[in-house]
Homo-oligomer: A and B are copies of this chain.
Amino acid sequence: MINKQLLEPESIVVIGGSNNCHKPGGAVVRNLLSGGYKGTLRIVNPKEDEVQGIKAFHDVEELPQTDLAILVVAAKFCPEYVEFLAKEKQTRAFIIISAGFGEETKEGAVLEQQVLDTCERYGCALIGPNCIGLLTRWHHSVFTKPIPNLNPKGVDFISGSGATAVFILESAVTKGLPFNSVWSVGNGRQIGIESVLEYMDEHFDPEKDSMVKLLYVENISEPDKLLKHATSLIRKGCRIAAIKAGSSESGSRAASSHTGAIASSDSAVEALFRKAGIVRCFSRDELTTVGCIFTLPRFTGKNVAIVTHAGGPGVMLTDALSKGGMNVPPISGKDADELKEQLFPGSSVANPIDILATGTPEHLGIAIDYCEKKFDNIDAIMVIFGTPGLVQLYEAYDVLHKKMLECKKPIFPILPSVVTAGPEVSEFLQHGHVNFSDEVVLATALAQIMKTPAPADQTIITDGVDVSRIRRIIDGIGESGYIAPKLVNELLESAGIPTVPEFVSSKKEEVVAFAEKCGYPVVVKVVGPVHKSDVGGVVLNVGTSEHLAREFDRMMQITDATAVMVQKMIKGTELFIGAKYEPRFGHVVLCGLGGIFVEVLKDVSSGLAPLSYAEAENMISSLRGYKIIKGTRGQKGLNEKKYAEIIVRLSTLLRHATEIKEMDINPLLADENDVIAVDARILVEK
């Protein structure tokens, strides 16, 4: 429970504050002092009379009432201090920096539970234990360096790991990325990453709050909460990017050994982030680059003008933007000619706009003005401006600074000369700007942003889905395992998913009678074995009753065969839908073209149930083989709308049947009119 005492404490006490700044207890006091904390700062230290110029209390008993306590003492002392301060000193917020709790030992977990219980009882906020603290513009309650540039337009950064937070700050500081707050949640059992987002969402003030949130997550313990508040914040205009570490199998192993995190399956994370509209990053460098982009005006559209005085980086940037799905469109016409006349002879305005190595700050300003005001096909401007060391760049960077304030189109500053023009770049950053020192790193991060969709609509679509019938079927299933084909068909029917006419029996006469009724040719499949094709249990195109009878006899001899299924044979292109239940996340739904596309090429898209029509359409169109669904080389396309509808309906079914742990519909057969489920398997766990 985040409260005023945590965010804006009138008084802070550091329990274990010391004079030794090489220890956390000393470093946190130093940071609070150098951060200009305006309230009353108190120290408790039994051995010192004065700590860094502040009178020290020898005992907590001597303390006056204090809003926030920062604990930097051994874990075993913490429960008692928390109890005493909450009870006697009206302390309503705690930051416990100390480690040695649940992350280390069972005894530590007991201590942590005691602290938690006390905080809950008295309504106290609890950050940590096992964290670097909380850094806001109000108070610098962290023991670590670096302290980044803090301002209200900076980003809010929430981290599940203190050490990683520190290293992310290192990467941010060199780029000039400003911060509004840094939250290190440590073990985070009261205030985890999700709770911080919840608070920011529920107390959101568009006038005062930061619009950018960066997250470093090792374990998503409350996916629903994350989804809800990330979506809500993004809908309110915020932008969120996150690293979820542990995406590979060995990565997950590392995550488990780190803080006892239970690794979430990565496809569920991927699907959750996409559903929420969170930009996923994979490195510190990428996260801070995305953060820098988020501090600029929003880049809508795809067309970039590059203004540069060096050709090479302009070419590399053009390559990288194109690779990321953006354009560097040609610029020409009257306005372009006019611009060219104002630059040195030999300049190019075709885009990249190359004002030449000798181009002046004035030229830079003119080129930017033309991109802002005259070139309507331009949505954003990227300026590459460094120096070979002949002249200082103060004037050029001053032009850039002013244009960034003036222009409506976002301007991305790429200032490569971080050593030779170190002081000039520093001054530029001190105006509150960021710097992308490598153009390709910028373009790659921008592509990552562009490909992240807007938050999905979270209404559950029940059109055509008979939820109560689904529940009746599921409730009626007695035991765990793959359910009978008849029930599979009933479930699909309940969700309005068309299936092919079929009939299952262990009696030859019945099978033949059904085939004669529905008409030949038919498909014959064995019932029982899981991998039917591998055991010769599927025969297509059976055209006569005699042939059917022969296949029936043969199939009933296959090991595990319990019956034979006969289906009307239909034609079409194979599609696939699958789903897997991930604990806490819900069902990850996969779709793709069938056959080799799924089995060899792993060409599948994923989404998290329940899905909206827009999400399903997005899943379909992001397949590598999408052209086949669209229709290619004179072939008609498939009914994409129906395919999307089936995906949506299935996701609704799954949302109401969490007992389903795994399922495949493989194949569905599709043509320009219909999409029909031909075979499906459903695994239920009761």
**A30 to B, closest residue via Cβ:** B389
Tally A residues with Cβ within 8 Å of B: 98
Shortest C-beta distance, A5 to chain B (Å), equals 26
Selected A-B contacts with CB under 8 Å, 14 pairs: A167-B310, A167-B312, A251-B315, A257-B350, A282-B440, A284-B439, A534-B634, A596-B625, A596-B628, A599-B633, A600-B627, A600-B632, A601-B624, A601-B625
Shortest C-beta distance, A37 to chain B (Å), equals 18
Question: What residues on B are CB-neighbors of A636 within 8 Å?
Answer: none
Question: What residues on B are CB-neighbors of A104 within 8 Å?
Answer: 345-346
Shortest C-beta distance, A147 to chain B (Å), equals 9
Check if A452 is an interface residue, CB within 8 A of chain B: no
A319 x B167 contact (CB < 8 A): no
B388 x A285 contact (CB < 8 A): no
Shortest C-beta distance, A325 to chain B (Å), equals 11
Sample of 20 more A-B contacts, CB < 8 Å, known A144-B390, A247-B323, A251-B318: A22-B390, A22-B391, A23-B390, A167-B416, A167-B417, A170-B418, A174-B419, A216-B312, A245-B312, A249-B322, A257-B311, A258-B312, A282-B320, A282-B440, A283-B316, A284-B316, A285-B438, A286-B440, A600-B628, A601-B601
Check if A430 is an interface residue, CB within 8 A of chain B: no
Cα separation A171 to B417 with both chains bound (whole Å):
8
- The one of B143, B144, B253 in contact with A350, judged by C-beta atoms closer than 8 angstroms, is B253
Question: What residues on B are CB-neighbors of A561 within 8 Å?
Answer: none
A633 x B533 contact (CB < 8 A): yes
- Mask: chain A, 1-30; 1 = CB below 8 Å from B; 0 = not: 000000000000000000001111001000
Check if A300 is an interface residue, CB within 8 A of chain B: no
Question: What residues on B are CB-neighbors of A374 within 8 Å?
Answer: none
Shortest C-beta distance, A214 to chain B (Å), equals 14
Shortest C-beta distance, A331 to chain B (Å), equals 11
- Each complex incorporates copies of this chain amounting to 2
- The one of B161, B246, B330, B438 in contact with A171, judged by C-beta atoms closer than 8 angstroms, is B438
Check if A262 is an interface residue, CB within 8 A of chain B: no
**A345 to B, closest residue via Cβ:** B104
A319 x B282 contact (CB < 8 A): yes
Check if A556 is an interface residue, CB within 8 A of chain B: no
- Mask: chain A, 326-354; 1 = CB below 8 Å from B; 0 = not: 01111000000000000001101011101
A248 x B146 contact (CB < 8 A): no
Shortest C-beta distance, A270 to chain B (Å), equals 13
- Mask: chain A, 626-662; 1 = CB below 8 Å from B; 0 = not: 0110001110000000000000000000000000000
Check if A291 is an interface residue, CB within 8 A of chain B: no
B143 x A388 contact (CB < 8 A): yes
Cα separation A653 to B365 with both chains bound (whole Å):
56
Shortest C-beta distance, A395 to chain B (Å), equals 13
- Mask: chain A, 128-143; 1 = CB below 8 Å from B; 0 = not: 0000100000000001
Check if A250 is an interface residue, CB within 8 A of chain B: yes
B328 x A254 contact (CB < 8 A): yes
A388 x B163 contact (CB < 8 A): yes
Shortest C-beta distance, A310 to chain B (Å), equals 3
Cα separation A258 to B599 with both chains bound (whole Å):
46
**A416 to B, closest residue via Cβ:** B167
Cα separation A146 to B388 with both chains bound (whole Å):
7
Q: Which of A170, A171, A286, A600 has the most CB of B within 10 A?
A: A170
Question: What residues on B are CB-neighbors of A311 within 8 Å?
Answer: 161, 163-164, 218, 254-255, 257-259
B245 x A316 contact (CB < 8 A): yes
B417 x A314 contact (CB < 8 A): no
Cα separation A563 to B445 with both chains bound (whole Å):
56
Cα separation A104 to B389 with both chains bound (whole Å):
23
